[in-house]
Amino acid sequence: MNPKAPYDGNDFEGARFIWTKDLALDNTVVFRTRIGKPGWTPRWNTRPDLDVKGVAAGASSR
């Protein structure tokens, strides 16, 4: 496993790999959810002020 740090400082005695021979299936996200923390508010706004709707459609027609 690379990079070695911080893993090389831990004791993994008794650990085992969880992957099977089917890596495509093992790495597939089957279920994804978001759990909100009550009372949490973001410290910043990541919504852009720029309206980019339709930009991809215009670029693909070129």
Question: What confidence tens digit (pLDDT) does each residue in 1-57 have?
Answer: 576 777 777 888 888 888 888 888 888 888 889 888 999 888 877 777 778 787 777
The residue behind tokens 């980019």 is 52
Cβ atoms of 20 and 26 closer than 8 Å: yes
Cβ atoms of 9 and 15 closer than 8 Å: no
Question: What confidence tens digit (pLDDT) does each residue in 20-33 have?
Answer: 888 888 888 888 89
Cβ atoms of 39 and 45 closer than 8 Å: no
Domain definitions of the chain by residue range? 1-31
